[in-house]
């Protein structure tokens, strides 16, 4: 018994050490990032990496950031919000009914559509950028918001999540009862299935938002004008104007490292806020298909 107790204590100690190491690995860089935004360029180089700066330096960095290229950072953030919001709306409009149909309706070609959805879901998104660019170039949509929003609205992972949810968590008998009461397929979906699908709707919306917000390559290829850039693409322009990453700019640098750090924090803040305010729905969505309803 004593040996078993000692073994359990050693195992717990090892688990604690591993978890602490992983926590430090992820937390320390984030702590440095937050503290670096509160420092002056000289303080960022000379002070201790985890030493805090000052509120005055943070406000000064913010003013310089907002004045970069006549306030283009605010434009980039607005573009990111617009692209992500429109893409999420279209994703939900398409993915939820598609997943419902694949899970609970029987029609010719259903299995083929499901296989194609799985195959496309496994394909790297970058592999589709060139054919998408050629297609939108032929239609004359390159350089417009549609060239970013429409491709990002194609979200096969959301269709598959919805398919799994409706297959495992919505009783078919409940939908059959609605049909017997005179509801058509559209009414059955809108009045019965959709209200029960709130957890998976939140989950699909969250994953779609994160994917769209962090998308870099597609907007970089599709949008030739800086005025249409989302924040993730705009960060590359700021990177090129920072002497630490581009020594050519030298004394004429428009962006200092603390300002670039602040821009990075600004770019990840919406995802963090959405995650914090939607945790309850995300957990419900992730566990919804664990047991059959």
**pLDDT tens readout for residues 84-125:** 999 999 999 999 999 988 888 888 888 888 888 888 888 888
- Tell me: the pLDDT tens digits for 155-209? 899 999 899 888 887 777 777 787 777 777 788 888 888 888 888 888 899 999 9
Q: Which residues contact 164 (CB under 8 A, 6 or more apart)?
A: 99, 103, 289
Q: Which residues contact 241 (CB under 8 A, 6 or more apart)?
A: 68, 249, 253, 254, 255
Half-sphere exposure of 33 (CA within 13 A, CB side): 15
Answer yes or no: is pLDDT of 219 > 90.
Answer: yes
Q: Which residues contact 97 (CB under 8 A, 6 or more apart)?
A: 189
**100 neighbors 162 (Cβ within 8 angstroms):** yes
pTM of the model: 0.84
Cα separation of 131 and 135, whole Å?
Answer: 6
Q: pLDDT grade, residue 291 (50/70/90)? A: very low
Answer yes or no: is pLDDT of 4 > 70.
Answer: no
- Tell me: the pLDDT tens digits for 120-139? 888 888 888 888 999 999 99
Higher-pLDDT residue of 239 and 79 is 79
Could you identify the residue written with the tokens 């984030």? 30
Identify the pLDDT of residue 186: 81
Average pLDDT over every residue of 9-23: 86
Per-chain mean pLDDT for the chain:
85
């Amino acid at each position: 018994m004593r040996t078993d107790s000692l073994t359990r204590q050693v195992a717990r100690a090892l688990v604690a050490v591993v978890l602490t190491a992983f926590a430090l690995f992820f937390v320390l860089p984030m702590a440095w990032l937050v503290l670096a935004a509160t420092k002056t360029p000289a303080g960022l180089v000379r002070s201790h990496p985890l030493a805090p700066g000052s509120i005055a330096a943070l406000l000064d960095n913010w003013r310089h950031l907002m004045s970069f290229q006549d306030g283009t950072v605010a434009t980039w953030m607005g573009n990111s919000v617009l692209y992500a919001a429109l893409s999420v709306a279209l994703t939900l409009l398409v993915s939820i009914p598609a997943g419902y149909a694949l899970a609970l309706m029987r029609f010719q070609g259903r299995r083929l559509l499901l296989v194609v959805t799985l195959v496309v879901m496994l394909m790297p998104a970058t592999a589709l950028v060139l054919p998408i660019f050629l297609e939108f170039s032929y239609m004359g949509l390159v350089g417009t918001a549609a060239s970013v929003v429409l491709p990002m609205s194609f979200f096969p992972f959301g269709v598959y999540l919805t398919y799994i949810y409706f297959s495992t968590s919505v009783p078919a008998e409940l939908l059959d009862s609605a049909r017997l009461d005179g509801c058509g397929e559209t009414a059955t979906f809108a009045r019965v299935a959709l209200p029960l699908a709130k957890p998976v709707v939140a989950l699909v919306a969250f994953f779609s938002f994160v994917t769209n917000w962090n998308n870099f390559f597609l907007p970089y290829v599709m949008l030739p004008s800086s005025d249409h850039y989302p924040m993730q693409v705009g960060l590359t322009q700021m990177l090129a104007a920072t002497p630490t990453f581009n020594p050519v700019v030298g004394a004429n640098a428009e962006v200092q490292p603390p300002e670039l750090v602040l821009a990075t924090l600004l770019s990840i803040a919406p995802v963090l806020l959405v995650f914090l305010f939607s945790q309850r729905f995300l957990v419900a969505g992730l566990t919804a298909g664990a047991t059959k309803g």
